[in-house]
């Protein structure tokens, strides 16, 4: 029910139309989203509890700033790769698989999206056991992802979702 209310409020704010046609579309869309994602936020044992939601919202701006800085650094790194004298040697694509220490699905989705947003990496697949398959542009990026225990991104996400 809470997911539906959040979705409906978001629909109303973004739509800006309050006639019966648009409100009925909003109700239908919000019901579908709430039904399909009801266990993602609040219900299952591995999901984030409502009591933790406040801590997550307070910690997210700090993580967002960290992510922006990482995206900036990765942009510079990929730019250097692209303008290397021998581009064919500089770009050495890898498809790597690693297991994360994160437990909740929302934390894993956050990690997957963070990896994909960072230039030079794309999350190809994530399974429920926390096994990630990621495409990386070169071996340096791939090695950084394989070091799960020293991976700062995973550590920050674990702290954000209270998994430390």
Q: Is the pLDDT of residue 52 over 80?
A: no
The residue ranges of every structural domain in the chain are 2-36, 50-160
pLDDT attached to residue 35: 84
Q: Tens digits of per-residue pLDDT, 57-86?
A: 788 899 999 999 999 999 999 999 989 898
Beta carbons within 8 Å of 78's beta carbon, 6+ residues apart:
119, 120, 137
Which pair of structure tokens corresponds to residue 32?
């579908």
| Residue 82, CA atoms < 13 Å, CB-side half-sphere | 8
Per-residue pLDDT averaged across 3-27, rounded?
90
Helix, strand, or coil (residue 97): strand
Q: Is the pLDDT of residue 45 over 60?
A: no
Per-residue pLDDT averaged across 46-51, rounded?
53
Task: Provide the mean pLDDT of the chain.
Answer: 86
Per-residue pLDDT averaged across 116-121, rounded?
93
Per-residue pLDDT averaged across 144-150, rounded?
67
Q: Tens digits of per-residue pLDDT, 81-111?
A: 989 898 888 888 989 999 998 998 889 999 9
pTM: 0.70
């Amino acid at each position: 029910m809470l997911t539906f209310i959040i979705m409906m409020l978001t629909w109303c704010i973004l739509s800006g139309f309050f006639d019966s046609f648009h409100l009925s579309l909003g109700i239908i869309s919000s019901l579908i989203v709430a039904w399909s994602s009801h266990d993602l936020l609040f219900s299952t044992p591995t999901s984030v509890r409502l009591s933790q939601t406040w801590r997550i919202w307070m910690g997210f701006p700090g993580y967002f700033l960290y992510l922006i800085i990482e995206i900036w650094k990765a942009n510079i790194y990929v730019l250097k790769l692209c303008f290397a004298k021998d581009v064919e040697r500089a770009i050495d694509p890898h498809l790597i698989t690693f297991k994360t220490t994160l437990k909740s699905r929302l934390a894993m989705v956050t990690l997957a999206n963070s990896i994909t947003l960072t230039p030079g990496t794309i999350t190809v697949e994530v399974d429920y056991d926390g096994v990630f398959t990621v495409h990386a542009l070169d071996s340096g990026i791939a090695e950084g992802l394989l070091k799960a225990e020293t991976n700062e991104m995973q550590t920050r996400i674990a702290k954000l979702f209270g998994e430390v």
